[in-house]
Structure 1
Amino acid sequence: MTRRLCALVRRPAPCFAPGLTAERLGALLAGRRMWVDGTVLHYWFFDGCDASVIPVPGTGELRRVPWAGGAEQRDVVRDCFREWQGLGIGLTFAEADDRAEAELRIGFQAGGGSWSAVGREALSAGRSERTMNLGWDVTGPGERGTVLHQIGHALGMVHEHQSPYAGLHWDDEAVYAELAGPPNHWSRETTYTNVLRELDAGEASASVWDPQSVMTFPFGPGLVLEPEQYRGGLSPSAGPSPADKEFVLRWYPPAGPARPAGLVPFRSVPLGLGPGEQADFTVEPPETREYTVGTFGDADTVLVVFEERDGVPRFLAGHDDGGGPDNAAVRVRLVRGRRYVVRVRLYSTWGCGQTAVMCW
């Protein structure tokens, strides 16, 4: 029996500056979707006021399909957020009262498929748009894995069965035929995007394939030709596997007891980071005005500024230099008497490799 599967929309390939080395390109592909560690991700559930309007087949009429989910469905999602949080990661999930405060906005449009923005892709969605949809009843047996899978995407994880290290040789036409039928009814493009397209090495979660990952699809027999051991199908774990836990803890290690160093205007601080590493700084502005916060050096970085509100960091501004010739920098208004946190994650370095951060 074929299960209903996650259907991500194919995104345009990222554009990077020409002439990047393979090392830089791989680091950018690996890190561009990941949040900076220490981020509080706020999630919000759409209510009955929001809906999609879709045509009714064969009638020429339109039908309104609400995005709201029932209380039991929302509780399953909350519990799945708690399960990921329980792995000890350095990200925090918090339910928001206002969609304008939420980075993750969750709908339950029946028949709309289950999907999610991958990591920081969520920031490019409009505030009235969903970043995640759960298209069927997730309170049923075995459906908890659907929610855990979508939250994995929200954390920046990709489909594990598409890893270039999996070595899977598919019977392509059998896969197309299987997923064109019920319950998925996928087009060939959707099947290629979510199953048959092999990811670039930099996009993969690790250099070793994890068939037990919650990000691997379950498949029945006859779809995989090689390796022989998977001709009978794939049966991944219903929850985060040990390798999933290792991946998220590598990108989002729990915060230590030490407080971040302080940034003083016009005084640069060396970073000394390795690829994938992060440095955090506090800023307590001596006066209220517009400030620039930026990095320096031969490096690819993402820089994010948060404002602490009641002890909780809220996203204020961010910039990813995306492998270009300029460094990451933001122009932002800081208010005296308030506390801000600057987080810088390094993708890669070149040249002298020396990097620094400063506000001015």
Structure 2
Amino acid sequence: MTTDSERRDYCSLPPQSTPVHAAGLAGTRLEALILGRLKWLNGTVLHYYFFDRETDGSTVTTADGTSAFVSWVGGKDQQDVVRDSFQAWKDLGIGLEFAEVDDRAEAEVRIGFMKDDGSWAYLGRDALSIGTDERTVNYGWPLTTPYGHTTALHEIGHVIGMPHEHQSPFAGIVWDEEAVYRDFGAPPNSWSREKTFNNVIRKLDQSEVTGSIWDASSIMEYTFGPGLILEPEQYRRGVFPPGTISVLDAGFARQWYPPLEPAGPSLLSPFTSVPLGLSSGEQADYLIVPEGTRDYTVATFGQSDTVLGLFEEIDGEPRYVAADDDSGRPHNSSVTAHLVKGRRYVARVRLYSARGSGQTAIMYW
């Protein structure tokens, strides 16, 4: 068991969205949908925003029953740690981009620094379901310490779709469950049994994780003191990850978000079907330059499960317009949007899986 001097705050994931899949889905097709559901399309520019106004915050009830306003605004030193952490993930050579914006309406990732609210982040694309005046990431303790730097990297791991590593079904961890509940139920976390179960004890399904081994050095791994793990035997004295992005973490990030091809997207012509030619998990971009200003539809075809995103190039940067994830439903992904003559748009498609003939295509009209 950890001593009081060793106790630390831990990240806790917010409740995740529950996917709705068509009846009868099973096997590798369902697994592909679950695994890729919360990952971003590669090449996405994730815009992040720091709450910075005196009115940005929450009203909470204090121990004596009164209400108090708690700010979400963090100092520049705190923000700089987060900026550096985004850059650390980008420096792995991944295809995602990160850009800071000063308008929360433009941000997919909105970051607050509310003390005593814990550190947490919505997992991957779950952030898109959160209102623009709400946080999708919170840092609840100082980030300028070594553990704070680890926390900043950890939460961004969640932002790009990485779950907690100790919940991997391949870890083979057997917990002393009551010891875990006592440990996390005590200060500074003071978690309920439900929160402890969801963030520590619950094992992820194999369809929710990439790879087949447990990475005890992962940035997504908690530190555990002695007395919480019964098996594997070598971890009875605890798990002490280094607090940095591990080799396997970097491999995960590059697998899902490989460096983008320098050649750029292929040009789509209206009313012309183009074969996708993708394998499961692969992605392709297609350039659309409308010949007139009107509503257009972009859609995939074939027996396949895809996610389709439409972006407009603004100052050389893709800005989100609309998206559709068919999530195993009978119809194909399709997006309808008002496009302007002569502007550049990119249709981005990722294939979860194909079935039947395996032939898939994209077209716009």
Report what 1:224 is aligned to: 229
Which of 316, 325, 328 does residue 330 from structure 2 map onto? 325
Residue type matched to 1:202 in 2? S
* Contact residue 42 and residue 95 of structure 1 kept, 8 A: yes
Cα shift at 1:141? 3.1
TM-score by structure 2 length?
0.97
Cα shift at 1:351? 1.3
Residue type matched to 1:54 in 2? V
- The residue correspondences of 1:79-98 to structure 2 (distance < 5 A) are 79-98=84-103
- The residue correspondences of 1:154-193 to structure 2 (distance < 5 A) are 154-193=159-198
Name the CA distance, whole Å, in 1 between partners of 2:281 and 2:93. 19
Residue type matched to 1:137 in 2? P
Identity of aligned residues (%): 56
- The residue correspondences of 1:185-334 to structure 2 (distance < 5 A) are 185-334=190-339
Residue type matched to 2:37 in 1? R
* Cα RMSD (Å): 0.9
Report what 1:51 is aligned to: 57
1:137 aligns with 2:138: no
4+ residue runs over 3 A deviation: none
State the Cα deviation string for residues 90-129 of structure 1 (Å, max 9, x = none).
0010000211111100000111111001111111111111
* Contact residue 288 and residue 333 of structure 1 kept, 8 A: yes
State the Cα deviation string for residues 279-309 of structure 1 (Å, max 9, x = none).
1110000111000011011111000000000
* Contact residue 90 and residue 253 of structure 1 kept, 8 A: yes
The SS at the match of 2:147 is: coil
The SS at the match of 2:298 is: strand
Aligned length: 359
Cα shift at 1:12? 4.6
Name the CA distance, whole Å, in 1 between partners of 2:78 and 2:321. 31
Residue type matched to 2:194 in 1? E
1:2 aligns with 2:7: yes
Mind listing any 5+ residue stretches in structure 1 that lack a counterpart?
Answer: none
Cα shift at 1:142? 2.0
Cα shift at 1:208? 1.4
TM-score by structure 1 length?
0.98
The SS at the match of 1:213 is: coil
Name the CA distance, whole Å, in 2 between partners of 1:326 and 1:114. 39
State the Cα deviation string for residues 291-337 of structure 1 (Å, max 9, x = none).
00110111110000000001010111101001111111011111012
Cα shift at 1:17? 1.1
Name the CA distance, whole Å, in 1 between partners of 2:15 and 2:201. 12
Mind listing any 5+ residue stretches in structure 2 that lack a counterpart?
Answer: 1-5
Name the CA distance, whole Å, in 2 between partners of 1:285 and 1:347. 28
CA separation of 1:12/1:43 partners in 2, compared to 1, >3 Å: closer, same or farther?
closer
Name the CA distance, whole Å, in 1 between partners of 2:155 and 2:305. 28
Which of 43, 61, 68 does residue 63 from structure 1 map onto? 68
